[in-house]
Structure 1
């Protein structure tokens, strides 16, 4: 099989991230006004990648805010509405296409409870038209900015200048991180391209891209068997199938859950000779305040996961857009 050349890192990634960051002033003003009116709780809602992308913001607010914050899968919301959702709830939904049917329906469900609905979607799409306010934005950066806006409005941010400067630097930091890690990511894809199953681990907010790397990038886009685990839950059973022949990817970032990931790394170094650990501490992240790295590095993991998928695409000659069922059959 001829190995295709990996695609260059997409310059549009930087453009989308920069465009999202440019919305910060409008978003801050909007969130400040909502909080002044009395937000009782916050829900992040999505499906697939959009749900995954909301996890860092959800994690930050859960750890740092007095406002109760929840994360709900779109169709779960349609089937069972949370008792606490209603007037005073802020419901944040995202969809890359703006057409994900479960998420569009979830926006209607949320509105029916009296909640305020904010979306990240392309203008004019079904999801955008359901919103009280829509922002055309890259969802993970947008939702992290929204989380910081909530924290600022409620007096939980000590240094707003550091936050603003770090958010300004974030688009280029994400790009540079992908460039710095590129050789390692290429080696991981080459190493694991033929394995029958790949296990992906992450802790805290990074478990989202353990799940997402396995389900979205390897299962959906590469038709490879994979499983994603919380690095702590890994020790509750899954580690029993791992040995020196196993393909394992571990994301390590810098939030408070890092000791969980380090525990997994210690185990893997002893019992899984082929495991690959990808650590954001190896990356410079120029312009990101050291105090904010714990909150930003889950987005770095997302950027690295996306780039790793492109390397799989190249070494396996399997286009990331190829589907059997998605968008092709009724489901």
Structure 2
């Protein structure tokens, strides 16, 4: 297992480390102010007989919904929950699509063609639509009944997750499920707790970024609600923005094939949360420590998460790990000199 030690915040590659976004805390505090809107959406939906909640999106917007979908699946006895790629939603629509379905469609720009098409498709069949995007004036909002926006260009994944967490809590309350009274306090603590987490983790993330190499594929393992962090880091940040060979793996499947690729020619990143699926990643870590070479564990237990009640850390640890995944991408950009904004094909050629 590679030793990870503190390091400086700049590299010799020619790109300085991006600062933590100055709008990070204000954006998340603004998201928390959308609580009443989330409660109104939930109240309208349940009042109109909604029984199915489907999250749709592509790429990072799809992965941003994994935390909420997993949270609802584990707690709701009255609602059916699914998380579906927006392109597949229209190609293979759920048989239950109709007036009893609430479709929550996410797209940062609000213009992702597959997601806008999925929203229009669902609305034509009578579903209720919620748009989750950067602003309130875009094609996705135009196709929806409600808009949950966060108003930031860079504070994106955590903002979406917190919006969807509030909607999930509201849906559970509307359907009579019991929620811990301290749940709201956990969310209220996140803006400053997540800023503190980034600041604390910066030295370690910088070292991980330097230890990774384009010559080795990078496998990102996680479980349950943290699968969103693994998806975003591997597909969006490493493949799309750094042109690295990378993939995400569910810890529950690690021994069913993927562990054969734990060699000196591959890197392994493990996101460890504090939810009920933690034993799955702990098993991966124990195996990797015995047999691996380039192994990096990013564990939410190492973070103070100040203000989050101890017994509720598992409910929000996936959000914290997603933030650290984004911050690791910033460090990788600095380490390689390859801008996160550079693309080979996206928005340049027809697909």
**TM-score bracket, shorter-length normalisation:** over 0.9
Between 1:151-160 and 1:74-83, the stretch displaced more is: 151-160
Give structure 1 regions of 4+ aligned residues with deviation exceeding 4 angstroms: none
Q: Contact 1:77/1:109 (CA < 8 Å) preserved in 2? A: no
1:145 paired to 2:166: yes
Q: Which residue of 1 aligns with 2:143?
A: 130
Which of the numbers 280, 283, 289 marks the counterpart of 1:260?
A: 280
Unaligned runs of 5+ in 1: none
Normalising by structure 1, what TM-score?
0.96
Deviations 1:253-287 (A, max 9, x none): 01111000000000010001320101000111111
SS at match of 1:11: coil
Q: Contact 1:193/1:315 (CA < 8 Å) preserved in 2? A: no
Q: Which residue of 1 aligns with 2:83?
A: 71
Alignment of 1:1-331 (within 5 A): 2-66=13-77, 67-121=79-133, 122-137=135-150, 138-160=159-181, 162-331=182-351
Deviation at 1:172, TM superposition (A): 1.5
SS at match of 2:129: strand
In terms of fraction of residues, the more helix-rich structure is 1
Between 1:237-246 and 1:139-148, the stretch displaced more is: 237-246
The 3 A distance-change label for structure 1 pair 193 and 15 is farther
Q: Contact 1:244/1:271 (CA < 8 Å) preserved in 2? A: no
Between 1:150-159 and 1:125-134, the stretch displaced more is: 150-159
Between 1:125-134 and 1:236-245, the stretch displaced more is: 236-245
Give distance in 2, aligned partners of 1:106 and 1:167.
30
Q: Contact 2:214/2:245 (CA < 8 Å) preserved in 1? A: no
Deviations 1:192-241 (A, max 9, x none): 13443111110111122222211110000001111110112121111112
Bigger relative contact order, structure 1 or 2, given CA contacts below 8 A and separation 6+? 2
Q: Contact 1:93/1:103 (CA < 8 Å) preserved in 2? A: yes
Q: Contact 1:253/1:301 (CA < 8 Å) preserved in 2? A: yes
Deviation at 1:33, TM superposition (A): 3.0
The 3 A distance-change label for structure 1 pair 158 and 134 is closer
Unaligned runs of 5+ in 2: 1-11, 151-158
Deviation at 1:245, TM superposition (A): 4.5
SS at match of 1:330: coil
SS at match of 1:6: coil
Deviation at 1:124, TM superposition (A): 1.1
